[in-house]
Structure 1
Amino acid sequence: MGLEDDFLLEDEDDEKTVEFIKNFLPQDLKDKFTDDELYYFLDVMVDYYSTSGCLDAQPDADGYVNIDQDEIVEYIVKEAKKDGMGDFNPEDILFVVQGEMEYGNSLGQVD
């Protein structure tokens, strides 16, 4: 598979993830975020995962890696403000993070 095919698969996966998150959000948040903002949040989450070291962490005795959702939320809020995307309520962003993790769970990527 070529590099272009890899990008197309990533775009398709991001699209499915955003749709899952939109369906996961509570009713009062469904119209709060644009698709562009949700794609941005996904990019920031990927950045967090790759720079925080959590992907390199050793699983516990049950095979789980502890990922602190509050740290991810703080990182997104901080980066969004720094990047000029806006000021977001951490409680709202937590639902986006939980939605992304639930999507991963539904695919069997995360336990």
Structure 2
Amino acid sequence: MALVSMRQLLDHAAENNYGIPAFNVNNLEQVQAVMAAADEIGAPVILQASAGARKYAGESFIKHLIQAAVEMYPHIPLVMHQDHGQSPAICQGAIDLGFGSVMMDGSLK
């Protein structure tokens, strides 16, 4: 199952009455910790990165850290989400990187 759409994950959660945690990740250790916990309890997970995290860690690093999690835990449904994209360009950049879900945050305008 591994990488899934936000819609798939949320629909399944709604149909089965459970919540899904979403974790902002910036580095290897955070991704490893989240995935180890999800594996231990058998939970799906949303790994998300803010534009700041993408800038801090480097877009390619964040992308590949999350893709590595998908490869190492293929049995865990996972969404790769852009959190609080503050412009269409930031959101489009996330889509271009392979993020399957973006949140456009226009609150600063």
TM-score relative to the length of structure 2? 0.29
- More strand by percentage: 2
Q: Which has the larger radius of gyration?
A: 1
More helix by share: 1
TM-score (norm 1): 0.29
